Amino acid sequence: MLLALGLSACSTGFYKKWADKETYGILRKKASKVPNSGQDFLDITPPPPVSMEELRKNMKKEEFLGDRAFVEEGARVINLAKALDLAVHRNRNYLTQKEAVYQAALGLTLTRQQYSPILAGSGSGTKSSNVTLSGVNNLVRTSTQTTTGNLGVSALTRTGAQIATNLTTNFVKFLTGGGNSNGLSQLGVSLTQPILAGTGYLSASETLTQAERNVIYSIRTFAQFRKSFVVSITQQYYSAIQSRETARNAYLAFKAFDFVVARETAMQAENAANSTKSSVFRLVQSRIVFNRNWLNAIQSYEAALDNLKINLGLPVTERIVLDYKDKEDLKIIEVPGTVEDAIAVGLSNRLDVWNLRDQVEDASRKVLVAKQQVLPTVNALVNYSVLDNPGRKQFGLEPENRNYSMGFNADLNLNQKPERNVMRSAIITEQQARRALDLSEETVRSAIRADWRNLQLARKQYELARTGMELSTSRLEVEEAFNAEGLGTAINLVDAQRDMNDTRNLMVSTSINYTLVRLQLYLDMGVLFIDKDGGWISVLNKEKPQGE
């Protein structure tokens, strides 16, 4: 049993290597025709167990996390480059998409085999005994041993011809009555060539042609998916940073109010002028609101971090903290050209649009194939065989014992309704393919126009946030000074502190939003290239990949 298990394991390893060698060969050749793809991107080898030991630990305890500060203390620091690297090697959906490309190429190996020589072999052996009564009390036993063997090779050519060669042998040996034996062997070759329906490269090779092109489509689809995937991980990464900053700002607002409430309470206790119980109660209620906002912000931050871990392929129990330097490195980078230039680039570079253009060609080709299938079926037939001498006791062939035949068979295809329906459906499919391409191109135009407007809006929002930050800072300083001198009101101080907190959040969100909108524009233009570790680079601005 152990030997059987060992042979099974060896067999599994052999077939895996055999399949990988042929499939990766196809992917390597096909990927060379698709920009920003390659075997490094399509390797489906399972990733090793995750190890975070090489990453530095965060030794800082953040006060703004309150009693949840332990989630970051001693956690591994992950920057954007590392997050993208983890995602493209460990994200479950990403790995599934890669495996789908591999399976498309694996299926092509079987389709290709149908157009190459295919070997087949079979055999059987039987032993039979027969007992009969002869005369009086005389039993006669007859035993025979029969063996048969068959070895053949067949091939379908790209012109539609089917060639088959077959070698058969039958051998019968009488085990009783002197042990006589005889056999019969035959070698045959046949050729079937369509003349009308099904003839020619176009029709005969349609299955192979479509399978070859489907692999290209799969690689393009995955290359486009990789771009969208990296943008989505980047968005999630910065969203988690934004959630962390929101928690920090909420804490700062809460602490500022804590100080004001303590001061106002002391002034009210001394019965200071303009310090009434009503204003103190107002500040205390606002302090509770800011406290609640702070606690909710911490909860949102931890939830965002857990969701990011899942998409990075990390256990949710793994403690990580994101590198805050990535937020500080954000820059407002202008996109060159005009929106018309961006649309032209998008229509030229988008891989999903490439697929739809090629699928229009597929549909047109299938119309031609369907038209040919309406023709009558006429096949030219050629058969040739060589036999051995009857009664021969061992395997052998006699070239003199041969026969051959030539002829044809035909089907006038008088019932053409099935072929008519197939042809009409093919024409409709072609019309649908052209509409799908037209819709896709319009969708690209619409998306890029929207991205361009969003980018301009994001730039204006960032500038407004900077102006608002200056005003909020000045206003809060004034209200705090008035309040310290007993000249301000609680409601003005509450509004100033709330505006200051909102403006801090806006400064973070608008800078992050501008970067993400710009990435979305690059994605829709098809100029966002992804390296094997998930880093992104815009070939439009020649920005360096993240992490360098």
CB 131 within 8 A of CB 140: yes
Q: In this structure, what DSSP letter does residue 44 have?
A: -
Q: Is the dihedral of CA 97, 98, 99, 103 positive or negative?
A: positive
Domain extents for the chain?
A: 206-367+421-537
Alpha-carbon distance 427 to 548, whole Å? 52
Alpha-carbon distance 499 to 476, whole Å? 9
Which residues neighbour 161 within 8 Å (Cβ) at sequence distance 6 or greater? 191, 192, 193, 194
For 486, what's the count of Cα atoms within 13 Å in the CB-facing half-sphere? 11
Q: What is the pLDDT of residue 149?
A: 79
Which of 414, 412, 416, 433 is closest to 371 using CA atoms? 416
Concatenating the DSSP letter of every residue in 396-440 gives ---TTSEEEEEEEEEE-----HHHHHHHHHHHHHHHHHHHHHHHH
- Which residues share a beta bridge with 410? 378
Alpha-carbon distance 514 to 291, whole Å? 30
Q: How many angstroms separate the most distant Cα atoms in the chain?
A: 143
Backbone angles phi, psi at 330, to 5 degrees: -60, 135
- Average pLDDT per consecutive 10 residues, the chain (548 residues; last block may be shorter): 54 89 93 79 84 89 91 92 91 94 95 90 78 57 73 86 84 52 77 88 90 95 92 93 90 78 67 60 79 93 96 94 85 88 94 96 95 90 83 66 88 90 95 97 97 94 88 81 70 75 84 91 88 59 39
Q: What is the pLDDT of residue 488?
A: 66
- Judged by DSSP in three states, 305 sits in helix
Residue type, 323: D
Q: What is the pLDDT of residue 508?
A: 84
CB 261 within 8 A of CB 280: yes
Q: What is the pLDDT of residue 541?
A: 44
CB 440 within 8 A of CB 346: no
Q: What is the pLDDT of residue 438?
A: 97
Q: Domain 206-367+421-537 adopts which CATH fold?
A: Outer membrane efflux proteins (OEP) (1.20.1600)
- Which residues share a beta bridge with 380? 193, 408
Alpha-carbon distance 235 to 475, whole Å? 33
| β-strands 536-538, 402-411 pairing | unpaired
In whole angstroms, how far apart are CA 166 and each of 119, 172, 262, 314, 405? 10, 20, 100, 57, 16
Alpha-carbon distance 265 to 18, whole Å? 80
Which residues neighbour 10 within 8 Å (Cβ) at sequence distance 6 or greater? none
- Judged by DSSP in three states, 543 sits in coil
- Look at the chain and count its residues: 548
Alpha-carbon distance 123 to 107, whole Å? 29
